[in-house]
Amino acid sequence: MIGPLPAPTERSPTPSLVESAYAALKHAIRTNVFAPGYQGSEQEIAAQLGMSRTPVHEAIIRLQEEGLVRVLPRRGVVVCALSPEDMREIYEVVIALESASAGLIAAREDREAAAATLEAANAEMASALAREDLVAWAEADERFHQRLVEGSGNRRLARIFETVMDQSHRARLLTLRLRPKPVLSVEEHKGIVAAIRTGEVAAAEGLARAHRARARDQLLPLLRQLGMRHL
C-alpha cells in the first residue's frame, strides 16, 4: 500500500505554484515583457516574476516543449523569436485545425450553443472596431477563434491550437496597426457561424479555411515588406 505523499517542499513545488509560474511567464512572453531574444538565468527570471526558482524551472521546461523558450546549457534561458517562415508554418497548422473544428461543430446536434458563443465574440469584435479600439478587437478575435476550436469537443486539437497561438500572439500584436483595418473579419465570421448553425459541414470548413488563408496572405507579405526577420 502506498503511504501518504510527502509535503511539498522547495524541491517539489505544488502544482498550483508551477501553474502560477507557468501562467506568469507565458503572459510575460506573450506581452513582450520578455521580448524575443531575451536571455537570462532561471534565477533572474524568477526574481523579475517575484517567484521562487523551483516552480519557474518547472514552468520553463513546459514552455520549452511548447516552443516559446529554449534552455541553453550553462547560458540560461532564451525567449524564442519567430521568423516569417515560422509564421507560415503556424498558419498552415491553424488553417487545418480551425477548418476541422468548424466542421466538427457543424456536425454536432448541440451546435446552436457553440454558434451562440461565437456570435457573442463576433459582436464584441464589431463593437470594438466601431470604437476604433484595435486592441479590444484583437482580444475579441482571439476569443472567437479559441471558442471555435474549443467548440469542436476535441481536447487534443484544442491543446495543439493553444500552443501554436501562443507562439504567434506576439507577431499578431506587433503588426496589428500595420495591417489594413480588419473590416472583413466580422463578416467572414458571420458566414462561418451561419454555416455551423445550419449544419453545413463542408461550407463551415471551407469558410473557416478561407478566412485564415486570407489573414495569412495579408500578414506574410507585410512581414517581408517590413524586413522583419525575427518577431
Domains of the chain with bracketed CATH? 15-79 (1.10.10.10), 84-225 (1.20.120.530)
**∠ CA(51), CA(55), CA(58), 5° rounding?**
140
Return all residues near 132 (Cβ < 8 A) that are at least 6 apart: none
Statement: residue 155 has pLDDT above 70: yes
- In this prediction, residue 179 has a pLDDT band, given cuts at 50, 70 and 90, of confident
Instruction: Give the highest mean pLDDT range of 64-78, 143-157, 210-224.
Output: 143-157
21 or 206: whose pLDDT is higher?
A: 206
Give the mean model confidence (pLDDT) for residues 75-99. 89
What mean pLDDT comes out for the span 23-44? 86
**pLDDT mean across residues, the chain:** 86
End-to-end CA distance of the chain: 52
pLDDT tier at 136, thresholds 50, 70, 90: very high
Instruction: Note whether 59 and 22 are within 8 A (CB).
Output: yes
Check: CB of residue 150 under 8 Å from CB of residue 158.
yes
* Three cell numbers written together for 147: 471558442
- SS3 (DSSP) at 40: strand
Report the SS3 class of residue 89: helix
pLDDT(169) > 90: no
- Residue (of 172, 208, 209, 196) closest to 117 by Cα position: 196
pLDDT of residue 118: 98
pLDDT band at 204 (very low <50, low <70, confident <90, very high): very high
CB-based burial, 183-193: b 16+ in 10 Å, e otherwise: eebbebbebbb
Please determine, for residue 8, whether its predicted confidence score (pLDDT) is greater than 50.
Answer: no
Better-scored residue on pLDDT, 9 or 113: 113
- C-alpha distances in angstroms, 18 versus 8, 23, 80, 132, 163? 12, 9, 21, 38, 18
pTM of the model: 0.75
Average of pLDDT values for 138-164?
93
Res. 113: pLDDT tops 90? yes
The pLDDT of residue 231 is 59
Whether pLDDT at 70 is above 80: yes
